[in-house]
Amino acid sequence: MKTVLGDGRRMFANHFFNKADLYFHSGYYPTFIEQAYSSQSQQKEEKEHHDELRGSGHEDEEHEHEHEKSMDLRGRPADWIDRFGRHFYSATHSHLDKPGEAKEILPWLRISADLDPQHIDTYIVGAYWMRVHLNKIDQAEQFLREGLQANPDSFEILRDLGQLYYENRHDSERARNIWELGLRRWYEQDDAGKDPDIEPFRQMVADLAHLEEEQGNLAEAISYKEVEVEVSPFPDVVQKQVEELKEKLKQKH
């Protein structure tokens, strides 16, 4: 297929990636226009409530609730034709939760990766499902390393590989090394003016801060937290955590 399709294979790779995403949403997926329209009405409410959710233990549930709201975009039928037509396609949003269902998206992602090895999201999404939903840790690591071999400068893949070592392998030292490498890759791209995505960077410094605090390395944890303050959407919350760590460090000495 690579030989026959040539450079056009990237178009097909994106198609297979989108098929997996569509299958994940059980047949109902909003258009980009619908998502943009929905996001305008939700931004204000999300901003008002997110701060109080942090630290309450309900962030994930609220995020899922908001995600479900964003998918229910059709609202009331415009007329009897719209109402009648909705009987012939899925107008509800659901996720694949059972392992037997979740694994159905993996062949689409496998084909997508084969056709376009530079599509980084394919490896991240595929490894997530293998690791979190199917408990296939070895396969997830292999898929991420395959993606890293094809994209050696990908700090995004390094971020997820470090998470696998931290959460699933329980190897904090290996996770630290991988995340530190991920930060170096991010800084290299930033210095080169490539405008790398800030979110994986923020996640890695937050993960490293948590790891160092867990290991009792409070000074290192504070250093990472101070970097996180600069990139966090909630700098006041992170700054408060910095002050708490400084107080712990003072009491330690």
| Distance in angstroms (rounded) separating the CA atoms of residues 29 and 32 | 9
* Residue 96: Cβ within 10 Å count: 17
Residue 55 has what pLDDT? 52
Residue 162, pLDDT score:
97
Per-residue pLDDT of the chain (253 residues; tens, 9 = 90+): 556 555 655 555 565 455 555 545 444 344 333 443 344 444 444 444 455 444 545 544 544 454 444 444 455 555 555 554 554 444 444 444 555 556 677 877 888 888 889 989 889 988 988 898 889 999 999 999 999 999 999 999 999 999 999 999 999 999 999 999 999 999 999 999 999 999 999 999 999 999 999 999 999 999 999 999 999 999 999 999 999 999 999 998 7
What does the block give as tokens for 137? 């840790």
Q: Are 120 and 133 in contact (CB under 8 A)?
A: no
User: What amino acid is encoded at 169 in this protein?
Assistant: R
pLDDT of residue 253: 76
Question: What are the residues whose beta carbons fall under 8 Å from the beta carbon of 75, sequence distance 6 or more?
Answer: none
The tokens describing 226, both together, are 């101070």
Both tokens of residue 174? 């290996």
What's the rounded Cα separation, in Å, for the pair 249 and 220?
11
pLDDT of residue 108: 75
Nearest in space to 28 (alpha carbons), one of 72, 77, 80: 72
Phi–psi pair at 69, nearest 5 degrees: -60, -40
CA-wise closest residue to 124 among 95, 153, 163, 96: 163
